[in-house]
Structure formats: structure tokens, C-alpha cells
Amino acid sequence: MTPPQPTAHTPRPTLGILGGGQLAQMLALAALPLGVRVLVLEPDPHAPARLCAEHLHAPYTDPAGLSRLAECSAVTLEFENVPTQALEALAGRVPVRPGAALLERTKHRAREKEALRAAGVGTAPFVVIESGADLAGALAAVGGRGILKTSELGYDGKGQARVESDAELNAAWASVKGAACVLEGLVPFVREVSLSVARTAAGQLAFGPLIENIHREGILRTSIFPATDADTLEPQARELARACAQAWALEGLMTLEFFVVEGRELLVNEVAPRVHNSGHLTQDGGGLSQFEAQVRAVLGLPLTDWRPLHPTAMVNLVGVADATGEPVHPDWGAIDALPGTRLHLYHKAWRAGRKLGHVNLVAADAEALAARLAELERLIP
């Protein structure tokens, strides 16, 4: 079939997305007003993006589904663990942004950390654990206290264990059945922040804002813009993001998560080759959103830096259960009644620990934001 060509009636390109979760949903919602049609390849029949994009309901490796994506102007993704087979099937037929080489790094913690170091970017001290022999002396080498993380398929604190002795390290490695891991030294951070960078295929760079992040049980709870000490930290974060984007020949958008050490130095915790949960607050702060930024970067549309025009925060809606396992719901009416809130739901079935939506909060100044954020936090379990 001939790929769709831009015409007077369809002047804009089409975007394919590997994955149809909430990030794809919000990418599609940002793409539609630009005149961009969106196709998502996603095996889950109830995936959030099905309601606002053409849903190719098939496995990520399905040849017919991949052929439909190959007809798009460009393909992007909403998760890092895209099967290699899918990337190989698309190679040479349609630009995939970010591309296979960058994804090979970001989906594997050890490779990612080595590539960060090679780009001149600081990380936590780490030792790669691939065999029993690697365990000897590893904990001492990272400072005596650490976190063992599986190199692949870990997110939101999953596949991680804190260890403070060699016995705990051995037990943690046994509990992941000897999977390839990274042992990281425990970083005494004072805060966590994140920043996204986008780069077009022509090499044009643009940056998102520095955002401050607060986690609960390994899952992001709250994000705030502007971040504490942004005046000194944001220029550093941008330089580190620029170094990575250029060294890794980024096409599309990626997000760096940082630890702030002693209030001034930034170490990179991890890199996501896509929009990020922390950047959801850019949907309502008044500037360009991270979702539109990714769409523009991937399709080569004009792109500028993006940042909220007003102080903005985001609180995640994560499924919380009471002692009997029953859902504890947010106070929906009070959330809607709080000035400056905007609700974003993902059309997912409730499950404890599952991200179901988020609430953005915008205020005229930092003081009003802090006061309303404290109120909002009380309304969300």
C-alpha cells in the first residue's frame, strides 16, 4: 500500500506509537489538534489510548500491525522495553524515534549507566553483577550500603532491594534468581528532580523545565514546578541532558531523573526514552506540554523549549486499598471544587498500586500553590 502523502486536505503527518497506555493516550490527545492522526499498536483490548487513536489491537511483534505503523510518517514509543523484533521489522521502513541504539541502552540499567559515564554524566557508584563471583567485595566498593536492581524490566521500585550486608546482598541476588543486576551505592540525596530534552532528526535541541519529585513507596506521588534551587540546578541539568542527547544522537524526547546531592551536585538515577510522569504537570501550566513536545520532535515540526507559565503541581492517583482490600477513593467532589485543579483519568480498571490518573494544580504564585497542594494531598489517598 502507498504510504499516506500530505495533501491540501491532510497537511499533517501520521504518528505511530508502540504501546497504548496512558502516555500514548496523552500523546494522541496532544497530536490531534496539530492535525496529526495517531495509530497505536497495543495488545491490551482495554488500553487507555484506544479511545483517542486508531487502535491496532495486536502483539507488538505482529507483522500486519507493524506494517500499518510502517506507513506512518514516524513511529515513537511510550515504554522502553519494545521487543527487538518489532524494531527490526520497522528498520529501514519508517523512522523510529528514539531509535534502536538508544533503546538498547535505556532498557538495560548497566548499559545505561556505562553510557552515562561515557557521556561525562555522573551516576551513583555501581558494580555490575552478572555472576556469583561479582558479588565478592561489591558492597564495599559502592560504600557499604546499596540497592540491588535488576538490569532489565524494573520500574517504579520493582525488582529492587536495599542491602546493608554481604548476607543481604547474596539473599537479594538469590531472590531474583541470579538475574543480571546492578548494585548501586545508596545516594544520600536531598531531593529528586527531572528534566526532559527533545532533539529533532536535524539536530535541533529543546528542553523542558526542571521539576521536583516526591516518591512514596518507590512510586512518584507529587511533582512540583518550579523546583527548589532551580536557578542553580536547572542550568546544570540542561548541560547534562544536552551532553546525553548529543552523545546518544537522540531523535525524539527523553527524560533524565536526577538525585540532588548536598543541594548542588546532580547525579543521574535513570533515563526514560520518552515523556515522563513528572512532566504531566506541563499539560496545564499554560506552556507547551511535554506530549506536544515529543510529537513535534518526532515529526520534525517546529519546536521550542517548553515550561509552565505559572507555578504548577501534579499528584498521582494510584489505586489504594483499605485493610480488607477494598478501594479507598479520592474525594472527587472536593478535588473538582479546589480552584486550579484539572483531572486526568486513564480509563483503567482499579487495582491497588496501579496508576489510574493524576490531578494537575495551577496557581498564580508559589505561596498559593503550596497552600492548595497541601489541601489537594489530603483529598487523595
Residues that bind ligand AMP (CB under 6 A): 124, 147, 157, 184, 186-187, 192, 215, 218, 257, 269-270
Host H or E run for residue 83: none
Distance in angstroms (rounded) separating the CA atoms of residues 248 and 294: 17
Distance in angstroms (rounded) separating the CA atoms of residues 251 and 354: 30
- Shortest approach of ligand AMP to residue 270 CB, angstroms? 5
Comparison of 31 and 103: residue with beta carbon closer to ligand AMP: 103
- Shortest approach of ligand AMP to residue 226 CB, angstroms? 20
The length of the chain is 381
Q: How far is CA 36 from CA 7, 32, 136, 241, 320, in A?
A: 13, 5, 54, 28, 36
Comparison of 69 and 147: residue with beta carbon closer to ligand AMP: 147
Q: At what angle do helices 290-299 and 22-31 cross, to 10 degrees?
A: 70
Comparison of 296 and 358: residue with beta carbon closer to ligand AMP: 358
Distance in angstroms (rounded) separating the CA atoms of residues 381 and 316: 10
Comparison of 269 and 282: residue with beta carbon closer to ligand AMP: 269
- Shortest approach of ligand AMP to residue 115 CB, angstroms? 16
- Shortest approach of ligand AMP to residue 252 CB, angstroms? 21
Comparison of 117 and 329: residue with beta carbon closer to ligand AMP: 117
Q: Are 75 and 86 in contact (CB under 8 A)?
A: no
Read off φ and ψ for residue 268, nearest 5 degrees: -85, 125
- Shortest approach of ligand AMP to residue 261 CB, angstroms? 10
